């Protein structure tokens, strides 16, 4: 039977029961209980856990959730012998018309074990009989964060779509969602990026087929400066898509386990360019992955923007590795659509299409292996001098 998710409801709102410092005493005793049972059978642990539960004040659903989480994640020592012993014993039992103790004794003699050892080892690998392995568990704080993340993900498993409002770091979220086969519609509202994430099939009916993938996005949110997550989740009745729904809200500061830090640079080339640029000039500031630009139902994520420290002038910089004329044309069309005036394209010379002429009116800086910052600064200087668009054409 699935363990009930620890949450409360307030009207239509779902409020996850997060683990906090107040639960540390319970979690500590739970971890101690598991640690003491290393080498013991699961059923012994189960008995010990029943006694443990009655003494603590943590909400019963949370207790159950934490217990289940540790039960699932704590490794087991894998015995090799039971399978061999089973085969020997059951074949012997089927072949001979002797009584049980004799069979066990004879098999034991063959396997160099006593009859009682044979009996004990017979099912040492099935649930209840398996032994707990050695494990260094996470700290209490980390355990709380992991448990909270698992609660949110379990709730989102019952969601058909998710709405996110993000302040900064939208790109990794959108990239991750797309990689997982989800669809994003993006718009700007009050300076915030609002992303609706759903799956293609969500158009036709309420479906939970994307729930797990939606849950995978949550750890990334911890890297956004601020975020607001809203989702309608099916709760109860086995999270059936036709079950009752409540709305889940998650905000910045929610105590959830973050993912590892999203990569700041797409490539070593970009990283090196950013470093060289900052060393070469103090007149311009370079921002990696600036705020995305609204492009119809989607967003355009520029690679860099260079901002003049002495005026309002700014210029977007795109670094293009392998490219085709179609790709360049599409990129330029997108920048024209969002009405960007100043754009510098750094394109790789070694690309197969390097002999194709670039569209006129675009500031292009070819590069091999390393982008020449001096050439970029010269173009920026020209822009500052002209005070006019490089994309006016």
Partner 1 sequence: MAFARVRLIYDRGTLILDEVPAEVRPLEWPGIAWDFRSSNYRSPAFRHRDLLRHADVCGVRLSDESRPAGRHPDAWIAPDLRPYQEAALSAWEMAGQRGLIVLPTGSGKTRTAIAAMAKLGLTTLCLVPTRALLHQWHDEIQKYYRGAIGRLGDGQFDPQPITVSTFESAYRHIDRLGNLFDLLIIDEVHHFGSGIRDEVLEMSLADARLGLTATPPANIGVLDQMIGEEVFRLTVQDLTGKFLAHFDTVTLRLDLTLDERRRYQTLISQFREVFQPFRLRNPDARWEDFVRFASKSSKGRQALKAHRSARELSSWTEAKRAAVSDILLRHRGARILVFTADNATAYAIAKDHLIMPLTCDIGRSERQDVLPLFRDGSLRALVSARVLNEGIDVPDADLAIIVGGTLGEREHVQRIGRLLRPAPEKDRALIYELVTRETNETFQSQRRRAALHASTNPL
The footprint of partner 1 (CB under 8 A) covers 4, 83, 86-87, 89-95, 97, 100, 103, 119, 122-123, 125-128, 181, 183-185, 196, 198-201, 203-204, 207, 209, 212, 236-238, 240-242, 296-297
Q: What letter does residue 80 receive in the DSSP assignment?
A: S
Q: What letter does residue 321 receive in the DSSP assignment?
A: S
Least CB distance to partner 1 at residue 46 (A): 12
Least CB distance to partner 1 at residue 303 (A): 25
Q: Which is nearer to partner 1, 30 or 122 (CB)?
A: 122
Least CB distance to partner 1 at residue 185 (A): 5
Per the document, the length of the chain is 393
Q: Which is nearer to partner 1, 237 or 339 (CB)?
A: 237
Q: What whole-number distance in Å separates Cα of residue 299 and Cα of residue 171?
A: 9
Least CB distance to partner 1 at residue 296 (A): 8
Buried-state track 52-75, b at ≥16 Cβ within 10 A, e below 16: beeebebeebbbbbbbebbeeebe
Least CB distance to partner 1 at residue 195 (A): 11
Whether 25 and 52 have beta carbons less than 8 Å apart is answered as no
Q: Which is nearer to partner 1, 100 or 110 (CB)?
A: 100
- Tokens representing 201 are 């099939």
DSSP string, 196-232: EEE-GGGGTS---TTHHHHHHHHHHHTTSSEEEEEEE
Q: Which is nearer to partner 1, 119 or 318 (CB)?
A: 119
Q: What whole-number distance in Å separates Cα of residue 172 and Cα of residue 221?
A: 9
Least CB distance to partner 1 at residue 268 (A): 31
Considering only CA atoms, which of 32, 292, 74, 2 is closest in space to residue 172?
A: 292
Whether 273 and 282 have beta carbons less than 8 Å apart is answered as no
Q: Which is nearer to partner 1, 122 or 391 (CB)?
A: 122
Least CB distance to partner 1 at residue 83 (A): 6
Q: Which is nearer to partner 1, 122 or 315 (CB)?
A: 122
Q: What whole-number distance in Å separates Cα of residue 66 and Cα of residue 25?
A: 13
Q: Which is nearer to partner 1, 89 or 328 (CB)?
A: 89
């Amino acid at each position: 039977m699935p363990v009930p998710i620890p949450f409360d409801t307030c009207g239509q709102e779902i409020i996850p029961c997060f683990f906090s410092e107040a639960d540390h005493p319970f979690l500590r005793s739970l971890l101690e209980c598991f640690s003491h049972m290393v080498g013991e059978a699961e059923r012994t642990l189960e008995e010990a856990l029943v006694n443990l539960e009655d003494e603590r004040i943590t909400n019963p659903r949370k207790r159950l959730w934490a217990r289940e989480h540790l039960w699932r994640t704590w490794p087991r020592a894998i015995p090799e012998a039971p399978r061999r012993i089973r085969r020997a014993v059951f074949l012997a039992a089927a072949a001979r018309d002797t009584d049980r103790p004799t069979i066990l004794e004879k098999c034991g003699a063959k396997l160099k074990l006593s009859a009682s050892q044979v009996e004990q080892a017979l099912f040492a690998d099935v649930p209840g009989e398996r032994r707990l392995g050695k494990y260094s568990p996470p700290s209490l704080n980390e355990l709380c964060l992991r448990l909270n993340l698992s609660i949110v993900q379990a709730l989102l498993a019952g969601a058909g779509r998710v709405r996110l409002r993000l302040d900064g770091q939208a790109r990794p979220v959108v990239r991750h969602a797309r990689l997982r086969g989800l669809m994003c519609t993006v718009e700007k509202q009050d300076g915030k990026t609002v992303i609706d994430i759903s799956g293609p099939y969500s158009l036709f009916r309420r479906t939970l087929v994307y729930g797990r993938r939606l849950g995978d996005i949550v750890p990334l949110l911890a890297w956004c400066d601020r975020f607001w997550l809203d989702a309608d989740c099916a709760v109860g009745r086995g999270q059936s898509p036709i079950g009752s729904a409540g709305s889940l809200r998650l905000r910045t500061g929610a105590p959830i386990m973050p993912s590892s830090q999203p990569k700041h640079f797409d490539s070593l080339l970009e990283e090196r360019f950013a470093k060289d640029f900052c060393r070469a000039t103090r007149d311009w500031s370079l921002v990696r992955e600036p705020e995305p630009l609204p492009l119809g139902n989607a967003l355009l994520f520029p690679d860099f923007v260079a901002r003049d420290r002495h005026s309002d002038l700014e210029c977007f910089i795109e670094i293009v590795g392998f490219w085709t004329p179609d790709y360049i044309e599409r990129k330029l069309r997108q920048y024209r659509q969002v009405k960007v005036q100043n754009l510098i394209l750094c394109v790789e010379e070694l690309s197969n299409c390097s002999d194709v002429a670039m569209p006129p009116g675009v500031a292009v800086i070819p590069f091999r292996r390393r982008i020449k910052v001096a050439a970029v600064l010269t173009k920026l200087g020209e822009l500052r001098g002209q005070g006019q668009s490089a994309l006016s054409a």
